[in-house]
Structures are given as C-alpha cells and as structure tokens.
Structure 1
C-alpha cells in the first residue's frame, strides 16, 4: 500500500515534470575527488568444496537462480532453503559449467534454479550442503518496487562506496548495464569481483547485461564473452532468446529488456527479431512500466564515447519508441546524465527518458568533459561516482533519484518524478504507426 506521504506528493508530479521540461541543462560543478586505486584481495585458503562468489538472479516466474563456485568438481549443485534460519524444507539441484582461459582454469561454476517461491519473502539457504547460511529476499509481485541501478562497477575504493550506499537503500532488485569486473583478460579478477559483490548479490537478485570489458575475445583463439556467459547466466531461455547477451524479465508490474551493445543488432539480426517479438507481446495492463538496459548510451553529451551508440540507435530506437519504453538505462560513459523524454534526437512526449549511469566506481576514472552548448534534450549531468534508485510507486508514477558518492556518503544530487507512458496514450495499442512497426512481418 502506498504511504500517505507518497499520496500527498503524487499530485505534484505533473508540476515537477513541467518544471523539468522547461529548465535548461544543469551541469553540476561539484569538485570530484580522484579515482581510488584498485582493491587488492589477499589470498585466503578455503576448503575446496566451500561455496564462493554466491549471487542470485531471477529465473522465470517465481524462481531464483543461485550461482556459486567451488574448487572441488565433486561438490553437489545443491541448494537447501526455507523461510526460517537453519530450517531447510526445500531442496533444489542444478548443473555445472567451467572454462579455461589461457593458463587459467575456472573452478566449478554451479547454477541451481529453485522455486516456486513466495513473493516478497526472505529465504534462508545454503549452497553445496555446507558453508555459511545466507539469505535473500524475493521481489514483490505488485507495486511499490524499488530498483537499484549502477553500471561500470569495477573493483576500486569507489566501487566499495557505491556498494555500501546501495546496501543502505531498501531495494528489491539490482540492474547493471554492463562492465562488471573489469577483469580485462586477467581471469582471477572475475573471482575477486565475485567475492566483492557477494554480500549484496547473494541477498537480492542482480540482473546484468554485458559491456565492452566483458568481451575478452582473442582473434582465432577465443570467442567473446566466455567468462561472462559462464559466470553470470541470465534467464534468456525463459524469455525466448537464444543468447545470454540479450533477454527480458518481469518483476512486479515492470517488463525489462536487457540488450547487447556488442552483438549483432541490425534488422536482420537475431537480437533485433527477438526484441521485436518480445515487445509485441508486452501487456501494458499487466506490466504498465517498460524499461530497457544496454551498455553504450544513445543520448550522450559527454565528450567520451561520442557516437558509439548511433548504429544501434538507428536500428532499434524505432522499436523501443513504438512499444512506449518509459526509461532507458546505459553505462559506458563514466559519468551521470539524464535526458527529457526524447526520440530521434528531439524532445518527444512519447519518447523514453535516457539515463547514463556508468559511474559505479571503475578503475579508469571519470569522464569530466561535456559538450557545450548542451543539447536541448539534456536535463542534468555530473561526472561523479554513484548509483541510482528507481522507486516505482504505482502503475503511473515512479520516483528516480541519483546519489553521488561524496566523502563516502550518498548525497542525492538529481531527482525527478516520472509518469508512465501507459497513462499518456503513447503505448503501441493506442498508436497505429506503432502497431505497424511492432506487428508488421
């Protein structure tokens, strides 16, 4: 049930949006500290069957995938779980995978899907029949729902601050638009990243898509994304996709499409055809909110990575616009930026709000330079590390806030109420031209 405070504030949302639409671009002049050094992880001896790098993700309706790694290949892919500490009334069995990369051999990577599970419920669980007891909370089945968003994480001191700040918010799900570990071919950095994020990733579902730092291809020897696909398996099969690099899922009243900036996306590609089919089946009465995530931003007024998303935008933006996507999240640029509703380079009441949030704490530092004058569609931009929170209150209103890391404290630097396109006549069912784009042969 929505709180009284939110009921009072909601009528102000339209006014806030009007003010936001009329305002000129704000480029924050906050003086940012330099990037912090990459964290160093001391080697710790563990039993070979000890579960490590535990994380959970959604795996279809009312199911969770639990992923962990062991050094011992004979350790069972068993998850015991229940709703009381130490009492495991249910068991799930999964499968394993592994990979080799030059002189590196991964441990045994376990993937076990458990469920059906109750919504909005804390479960206590144990992996492999031993190890410490962990717990996760399933997302709610209806509004309100809160999504934490942070991309380009890496493994620096700023990453640690970002994770600590996300942990402070009462979120239900983490969305990560690419560039996870910054392993960059050094495979044990995937292991240290798994250890770094386990406290959060084992307690709430993490839904991720790939970035350029996940590719790790070696011509004529290694295809791209082998490490990413083995370690971070997402529910692509459940969404009808044939690739772990793009998929969709639903949570509460939200349909989310996770796209791949580094796999084929033109009109003849499998990804394009999958996206068109996926968007054409979205029921906006059941999931009134529609979000999209990918790595390379389409709307970017930072000097960094200019134009890199243009080809993907040319191919896929008409599909997102026809479907009435509400918000698009991207990473890649190591700074924050939020747009007005925009389509085809211009403000559009039926366009998506684009948010660049590649500022989780990467080792490469921040992208400080913005283009001047700022484009008409840009509302707020700041080169700082931080994270975002999207609190979807009901079928029509959501509150977005971005929190910079300021001396290890989360400081809310940008915020806005967003009204769903479902309530504005912009969804495909209500526009002939949109129906023709989505449902044409």
Structure 2
C-alpha cells in the first residue's frame, strides 16, 4: 500500500512538473547568403505612416542613379498614380550604404489594398492602408534582432490580421556592423512592405564613435518616421493618429527633462490631442519604467520622474516598452502604486534578439505587476471601440490561437479620468 501510494504521488508530481512551461533553448543568428541583384533592384522595402492618408515607402538600391519614384494603384500591374521623393546615403568607417529612397504616396483611401512598384522596376509589392475608424489591430514586438527566434516571431506576426506594427526599439542589432542593417531589411521586408511599421530607437541603434560618429546615423537614414509631420525636430520622437488612437513615440536616449526639446515637443503634442476624435492615447519608448526583472533595473527611473506626471495628467491609457528581454504587464499604475487613472505598462522586449532572455526576476513580485515571463513572443492589441481594447501576448512556441496572457482594457475616457484631470493637464501645459 505504501509503495502504491508513493508511486501515485510521484506520478502526480511528475505530471505537474512536466506540465509547467519549459523555456526553449536559444536559436542561432540567421545566415544570409549573398544574393546578387541588379544595382537598380529595390531592396529592403518597408512602409510607414506619413500623415493623414499618406504612406512613406522606403527602399535601397545599389545604383546611385535610380529614381526615388513609386508607382501605385488599386489593381495589380495598373499604376494610375506615381510620386517622387527624396534620397539619402551615409558612410560608416569602411562601409558605404546604397541609395536610400523615401517617397510619400497619397492621398490613399482607408482600409484599401494598393499595389506598388519602386524605382520603375523590380517586383510588385502590395500594401493595405489602416482603417479610418475603430476597430483596429496592432502587432507589437520589440528587440527583434536576426536570430531563429526573430524568424519565429515574424512568422507568428504574419498569422495575425493586423493593421500596423509597433516596435519600441532595438531593431537590427547591427551594433556597428552596417551590413547587418541590410540583412535586417531583407528579413523584415515581406511584412514591413505590406503593413506600416512604426518604430522608435533603442540602445542598439546608438552606434556612437566618439569624435567620429554621432549616434543614430544609420537608424535615422534608414527608418525615417513622420517626425516632421508631427511638428518634431527629431526623428527620435514623433506622434501619429490612426483610427481612434493617438500614438506617441519617444526617445529614451534623447534629453527628456523639463528643459529639453523633447519635453517641450511632448507638451505641445499633448495639447493638440482631441480625445473625442482619438479617445485612446498610447506611448512607446525603449527603456521600461515599471520593470521587476533584474535586468536593467532602475534605468528608466530618471525619465519616469520627469515625464510620468505629465502622462498621468494627460490620462495615457497604455505604455509599451522594450529593452528587457522578457514580457511583463502591470495594473493601471502611477508613482509605483495601483491607480485607476494610471497607465497600463507592458514590457515586450522579447522579439528574438541574440543576447537571449532575461530570466531573473525580483521577488516578491511587486503589487503593481500582474504577469511576467521570460519567453520570446509578440503582442496583439485590438482596439474594439472607444471604450474597450483587447490585449494578448503570444509565446513563440505556442500555436497562434494560444494566448499566454490576455486581458480587456477599459479606456480612461470611459472611466471619467480624462474629464477629472482636465484642469491638472491644463495647468501643466500652461507652465513655461
């Protein structure tokens, strides 16, 4: 009887252990064999939002004489419209980039498929514009890199019926080796040429060489975002509207104190937000403020001290960050305490980088932290209407229908927080 009881307990314990999630092993950096193309062949094609009803198409050619022209239309092979844009290039030590083209097309109809061709030759691409009104779905993944796990993340995102991709920093992990920017562009082209990718910078985009190179030169040349359209003087911080959301992208590595240009721009941007037109207010930047992982502890504290009161007064609904190579979701929180008018903070720096996962957490788990796990994956945010949105996080080794974490979020507009804090926001915005 004792032996039988022992065996039964052992089986139960064994079943419990094996049922627990087992973190997968790292995957190697992807290899990109040399694939020679015509010098004028468009490469590394990606698109981004560029103001109301416009899209920026970016691509690279080896030929410096290639035109920065995009032909586009609603039917395959039939281009009723064309636009001409601008180009740039840069050198980095012994590396010289190709010709980097940026061409804005539009006005475009909402929620519509367009076919387009870059530079008058090469393959035809297909894009879909976001809807003008809710619902809208965002795919979210940060700290991507170029590993086997990156490929898995992109494959999972490709299964998601999303309208816009949001990336809170650390794109290519080129880390000074400029050819890695090119291979990253090749890797993401199938997705980034079809849906707008809205990105902000991380620490791996810095690439500073003292006395020789300022930071973010490669990033700024390759990933031009709508900073001018949003009144910003820097590609490192900007904002845009899409459907019923106003989304602000900030720079964790730009000055952000109350005397900085970024802070002044942020105040000006928030003063223009109309919550009747865009009831949802979201912010992305790289370094998380609410982080219970032992990795990068405290790195966001200074930015948090400077800007969180402004976010709170403005009733920011959701903050998305990367940097920590793990996933974590908070309650609505302000000043490190649960607050019904605070923002939900999500860390999603687990796209697939080569540095691996951040597996060690601070214990006990803080009261503001709801869910945390060190796994590679991506998030999906579906804003259903003016009052409700649904967030889900998907581990890479789970099938797409399996959600490792999900929850409904109620907008601060519908909770009364926006109206309650109007005077507080006005006072902050009017302060010189």
TM-score range (shorter-chain normalised) is over 0.9
TM-score by length of 1: 0.92
Question: 1:271, CA displacement in angstroms?
Answer: 0.2
Decide which of 336, 344, 349 is 2:340's aligned counterpart: 349
Match of 1:316 among 282, 307, 331: 307
| DSSP-derived class of the 1:255 partner | strand
Partners of 1:347 and 1:37 lie apart in 2 by 40
Question: Counterpart of 2:387?
Answer: 396
Q: Distance in 2 between matches of 1:107 and 1:288?
A: 41
* Counterparts of 2:419 and 2:35, CA distance in 1: 54
Provide the rounded CA distance (Å) in 2 between the counterparts of 1:110 and 1:258: 23
CA contact (8 A) 1:280 1:439 kept: no
Moved over 6 A (4+): none
- 2:50 counterpart residue number: 59
Cα pair distance change 1:187/1:399, threshold 3 Å: same
- Aligned match of 2:91 in 85, 96, 100? 100
Q: Secondary structure at the match of 2:426?
A: helix
Q: Separation in 1 of the partners of 2:20 and 2:356?
A: 17
Report the 3-state secondary structure (helix = DSSP H, G, I; strand = E; otherwise coil) of the residue aligned with 1:311. helix
1:425 offset after TM fit, Å?
Answer: 1.5
Counterpart of 1:142? 133
Map of 1:168 onto structure 2 = 159
What's the TM-score, normalizing by structure 2?
Answer: 0.94
Contact 2:73 2:79 in 1 (8 A): yes
Query: How far apart in 1 are the matches of 2:422 and 2:271?
Result: 13
Partner of 2:357: 366
Aligned runs of 1:286-301 on 2, under 5 Å?
286-301=277-292
* Contact 1:390 1:401 survives alignment (8 Å): yes
- For the residue of structure 1 that corresponds to 2:403, the secondary structure is strand
Which of these residues, 151, 170, 177, is aligned with residue 179 of structure 1?
Answer: 170
Question: Shift in Å at residue 430 of structure 1?
Answer: 4.6
Once the two structures are superposed, what CA deviation does each residue of 1:222-266 show, in whole Å capped at 9, x if it has no partner? 000000000000000010100000000000010000000001001
Correspondence list, 1:271-282, <5 A: 271-282=262-273
Output one character per residue of 1:270-316: Cα deviation in whole Å (capped at 9) or x when no partner.
00000011011100000000000000000000000000000000001
* Partner of residue 6, structure 2: none
Counterpart secondary structure, 1:81: strand
Give the structure 2 partner of residue 80 of structure 1.
Answer: 71
What is the distance in 2 between the residues matched to 1:428 and 1:338? Answer: 26
Instruction: Tell me how far apart the structure 2 counterparts of residues 53 and 137 of structure 1 sit (CA, whole Å).
Output: 18
Matched position secondary structure for 1:427:
helix
Aligned counterpart, 1:226: 217
For the pair shown, which has the larger CA radius of gyration, 1 or 2?
Answer: 2
Gaps spanning 5+ residues in structure 2: where? 1-18
Task: Show the counterpart of 2:321.
Answer: 330
Query: Partner residue of 1:238?
Result: 229
Residue of structure 1 aligned with 2:402, choices 396, 408, 411:
411
Question: Which structure's relative contact order is higher, taking Cα pairs within 8 Å and 6+ residues apart?
Answer: 1
What is the Cα deviation at residue 33 of structure 1?
Answer: 0.8
With over 3 angstroms needed to count, the CA separation of the structure-2 counterparts of 1:235 and 1:345, relative to structure 1, is same
- In the alignment, structure 1 segments of 5+ residues that lack a partner are 1-27
Verify: 1:250 aligned to 2:241, yes or no: yes
Question: SS at the partner of 2:396?
Answer: strand
Aligned to 1:20: none
Alpha-carbon deviation of 1:432?
2.3
1:113 aligns with 2:128: no
The DSSP-based 3-state class of the residue aligned with 1:239 is coil
Distance 1:330 1:82 in 2: 36
1:40 & 1:388 partners in 2: Cα distance? 26
Residue number in structure 1 paired with 2:414: 423
Q: What's the CA shift for 1:439?
A: 3.0
**Contact 2:313-2:421 within 8 A present in 1 as well:** no
CA 29–307 in structure 1, closer or farther in 2 if over 3 Å, else same: farther
**Mapped partners of 2:241, 2:262: distance in 1:** 19
1: CA distance, partners of 2:202 / 2:186 = 20
Query: What is the distance in 1 between the residues matched to 2:400 and 2:111?
Result: 28
**Residue-by-residue CA offset, 1:130-167 (whole Å, 9 max, x unaligned):** 00000000000000000000000000000001001001
Distance 2:414 2:228 in 1: 31
Return the offset for 1:35: 1.4
Per the alignment, residue 259 of structure 2 pairs with 268
Q: Cα distance, 1:424 vs. partner?
A: 1.2
The CA RMSD measured in Å over matched residues stands at: 1.2
Decide whether the 8 Å contact of 2:413 with 2:419 is kept in 1.
no
